[in-house]
A and B are shown apart, each in its own frame.
Chain A
Amino acid sequence: MSLLAIRDVSKRFGGVNALAGVTFEVEQGDILGIIGPNGAGKTTLLNCISGLYRPDAGDIRWETTSIRGLAPYRIARLGIGRTFQIVRPFPSMTVRENTAMGALFGRPGARLQPGAALNEADMVLDVVGLGEKRHYPVLRLTVPDRKRLEVARALAMRPRLLLLDEVMAGLNQVEIEQALEMVRRVRDSGVTIVLIEHVMKVIVGVCRRALVLNFGRTLVEGPPAEVLKDRRVIEAYLGQRYARDQEK
């Protein structure tokens, strides 16, 4: 039985089919990468899973139960955490407090008090590498650090599944290496990960499987190296002519 099952999920906005029947499964312990050109529906998919959008059709199952249409806070408490592509910290709180918020509200089955949540935050901050900056106001953080904070807050929830939305965007080579290390540490601690990425190095470097979305549909699924060589994928990203040229 898979941890998360997406079955034929569709979502439209006005006349646009953001998602048109997406189906895949995530096993416990997996790291699944989702790639696709801009506008393919990747973030919409994440929003449907985390409850910010309600799918128009299809089902989303968490183990045995359907979570389609559940309020976001319920989905969070089931053990699904997520980050946002454009980070959304709580500006008036420090790094430590931001992180603690995840522990305060998102723990499956537990209701922490502020003191305990702050302690939890300290532990998590060390995992992501923000330990020394725990008392910084958010506004003082660099972009890579803000992304770490976003991940820290989600991790403080002790999620079983972590959805990362373009965590690597805007990072340089060194920072990407560090972030990759962090992702591996998270995986090793027992968290299943789904990550949306544009940086192919990440997909190849850390994902066991990759899924390609295009125009709201799944194009290809499989081991990253194969997926990236697939003609349809190259076509989707770079156009038919390039794909043809590659084959020659």
Chain B
Amino acid sequence: MSVRRAAYLVAGLAVAFLVLAPLTSIDAAQQAGLPLLTDKLWFRIATTVAMFVVMASAWNIIGGLTGYASFGNVAFFGLGAYTAGVVVTNLNLPFALALVLAPLVAAAFAVIVGIPLLRLRGHYFAVATLGVGVAVGEVVNNIEPLGAATGLFLPIIRSDLLFFYLMLGAALLAVLTTWIILRTRFGYGLLAIRENEEAAAVIGVNTTFYKVAAFCIAAALTGIAGAIFAQWNSFINQDNAFAISDNVQMILMAVIGGTGTVLGPVAGAISLELIIQTLAGGGSGSVFSQIGLGVLLAVCVIFIPRGVIDFFGGRSRLSLRYFRQTLRETSV
């Protein structure tokens, strides 16, 4: 069996495990004597990983496929989270409604902010969106009905299982969306914009509409993740809903995994989040994990800019020669 086949098999088993194993935690299963395959810690990590799969895949749509690297997608996460907060806490409406409204709010904001900002390229777009991420968080932090600096509490729903499946569902939605996009005319248009925007324009691609649409889709998916997070965590504030570190993490995951592909962000999200969780668990906590993250970022950017998925596509092999070649291409 080739390496590729084996990889698919392993992946398939992993997915099956993900979907079925959590069921062992249901009371009925426990009473029937099934072994508990997934404990609280497992749920916490798995749900977080799924959350980042959503965010990395969503970022990939605007950053990887379209080539507009947004450094402010965390704004959509936060908006989704606070929409859920408002719906559930302030308006006393069911959470299911929040799941519908959050992506709409995020997408609407993406249209408003996207139309002026998507006229910018490269550096400008990146830092302008960084500014959005920071500014939105700051503004929300000052609004009283949203809890201002103290934060917003949501009524607690205790169910590891529910939130895991919700986040897993969102992750599947994100991956499926990317897969569909890459098969359609829309996807080709995005790639054209990424590769050569002026050429795309003169062959008939409505670049403004496509860019804004991609931005909206990314925003909506990220918003859903934010909404689920809000209810799962039962508490949101500027620090956890608009965390700049989340921002960079989702980009890093997409880059490490391989931008522009369907499974790249998934691979990146899973591997990076597991590494982060391991680092955070051992030793002086967050400071070392931050240093580790920074060094990892530097190493990845320097040595594997095309992402890990490059090795799975059959195009490259992990070797010293690969690294040397990459370095030669990008060094001065």
Binding site for B on A (CB under 8 A): 50-52, 71-73, 75-77, 81-82, 84, 88-93, 101-102, 104-107, 111-114, 153-154, 157
Contact = CB atoms under 8 A, between A and B. Distances in A.
A154 B198 contact: no
Given A92-B191, A101-B192, A114-B185, A52 B198 contact: yes
A52 B201 contact: yes
Nearest to A106: B204
A155 B67 CA distance: 26
Contacts of A113: 185
Contacts of A92: 191, 195, 260
Interface string B175-199: 0000000011100110110011011
A30 B47 CA distance: 65
B205 interface: yes
A120 B183 CA distance: 18
9 contacts: A71-B208, A72-B202, A73-B201, A73-B206, A76-B201, A88-B198, A89-B196, A89-B199, A157-B204
Contacts of B260: 92
B177 to A, nearest CB: 18
B314 to A, nearest CB: 14
Contacts of A102: 203-204
Contacts of B208: 71
Contact of B195 (A93, A105, A107): A93
| Interface SS of chain B | helix
Given A51-B201, A76-B201, 13 more contacts: A71-B201, A75-B202, A81-B203, A88-B198, A88-B199, A89-B199, A90-B195, A91-B195, A93-B191, A104-B189, A105-B200, A106-B204, A157-B203
Contact of A51 (B188, B192, B195, B202): B202
Nearest to A76: B204
Interface string B147-191: 000000000000000000000000000000000000111001101
Given A113-B185, A114-B184, A114-B185, A73 B205 contact: yes
Interface of B: 183-185, 188-189, 191-192, 195-196, 198-208, 260
Contacts of A52: 198, 201-202
A90 B202 contact: no
A51, A75, A101, A106, most chain B CB atoms within 10 A: A101
Contacts of B200: 101, 105
Contacts of B189: 104-105
Contacts of B195: 89-93
Nearest to A138: B195
B188 A101 contact: yes
A93 B195 CA distance: 9
Given A72-B202, A73-B201, A154-B203, A90 B196 contact: yes
A210 to B, nearest CB: 24
A227 B203 CA distance: 33
Nearest to B209: A73
Contacts of A77: 204
Given A88-B196, A92-B195, A104 B185 contact: yes
A76 B202 contact: yes
A76 B196 contact: no
Contacts of B201: 51-52, 71-73, 76
Nearest to A91: B195
Contacts of A105: 185, 189, 192, 200, 203-205
A102 B202 CA distance: 9
A220 to B, nearest CB: 29
Given A89-B196, A92-B191, A101 B184 contact: no
A111 B203 contact: no
A25 to B, nearest CB: 22
Contacts of B183: 114
A106 B191 contact: no
Contacts of A93: 191, 195
